[in-house]
Structure 1
Amino acid sequence: MLHTRALVADDLELICRHRYEMFREAGREPAVLDRMTPAFRTWLQPRLVDGTYFGFITLDGDTPVAGIGLMEIDWPPHPLHPEQDRRGYVLNVYVEPSHRQRGIARMLMDRAEAAFSERGLPYAILHATQMGRPLYAGLGWTSTTEMAKAVHAPPRA
């Protein structure tokens, strides 16, 4: 039986594994993901503890089968939210292959919208993989004009 609960600090390794698999399935190189994951774990741990990274895990019995991460991010007022200085941010949406096409990701996105609404966040963003785009578009999410570039800087000490 499927049930969903809020993330807790003990979900650290599960979230890291879901993030790794999400990027791997999107075509990212394992060597890059092997470097990213320890840095992500270090970044995530205090945010899980203090609640600045929150979200949900769906379980089938006692087995985690899906998850979603959420954040509230500081953002200047913008034409899409002219009086709001924060946005919701959705990340790390992942459903185990054995449980896909059952509406779990859609349910997690509904939970995300409710969590943002409870926090007074009327606008949210996400970065979609090709696999996720149809789901998000079907839920009313639209593409923006965002662009990105890696800026090479010396590593932090």
Structure 2
Amino acid sequence: MKVYSFRPVAPEDQALICRHRVEMFRASGRDEAVLAEMDGPFGEWLRPRLASGAYFGWLGLAADDEVVAGIGMMVIDWPPHPSHPTQSARGYILNVFVEPDHRGRGLASALMDLAMEEARRRGLDHMILHATRMGRPLYETLGWSQTSEMGLSLREGGLMTKLR
């Protein structure tokens, strides 16, 4: 059994976080061309948020200090809502990724525990994430449930293009 440790993400982890994000979406079957298009803009978006601490998270390290997993988190501005009627923010989990050779060993669960502990420390009443099919069973075992969110793409080829 491998022994893992965890450390907070830092600005110098930007390239690693970007790679994890691409690999996470790749594992869920997303289009390679879209992933290539997203990578640069995500890095530009991430840089100032890592520097300011608006994007934070943790990395899972194997015994040799190799980074083998990661999770990101943000506190996002959100109007009071039935899920958090007195708060104008919610926790947002993103970029949960475990290297294939290290899956099934409790890393994602441990990272989620760190994120939920941080949300409690910050006094947040509600957290959200967008689950891939692969991640959904883990989140459900941790008490997360499906919400009624819907989405609409306004990009070329989306519904708005078809209505023109």
Which TM-score tier does this pair reach, normalised by the shorter chain? over 0.9
TM-superposed CA distance for 1:8, in Å, is 0.4
TM-superposed CA distance for 1:152, in Å, is 3.6
Match of 1:104 in 2: 107
Query: Once the two structures are superposed, what CA deviation does each residue of 1:87-145 show, in whole Å capped at 9, x if it has no partner?
Result: 00000000000100000000000000011111111210000000000000000000001
Counterpart Cα distance in 2 of 1:6 and 1:37: 22
Match of 1:24 in 2: 26
Counting matched residue pairs gives 153
Which of 111, 120, 123 is residue 123 of structure 2 equivalent to?
A: 120
Q: CA RMSD in A?
A: 0.9
Match of 1:84 in 2: 87
Match of 1:51 in 2: 53
Counterpart Cα distance in 2 of 1:152 and 1:76: 26
Match of 1:67 in 2: 70
The structure with the larger Rg is 2
Residue 143, structure 1, aligned to residue 150, structure 2 = no
Q: For residue 49 of structure 1, what is the amino acid of its counterpart?
A: A
Which of 11, 14, 17 is residue 15 of structure 1 equivalent to?
A: 17
Match of 1:132 in 2: 135
Counterpart Cα distance in 2 of 1:134 and 1:111: 18
Consecutive unaligned residues of structure 2, counting only runs of 5 or more, are 157-164
Match of 1:93 in 2: 96
* Same amino acid, percent of matched pairs: 55
Structure 1 length-normalised TM:
0.95
Counterpart Cα distance in 2 of 1:45 and 1:27: 26
Structure 2 length-normalised TM:
0.91
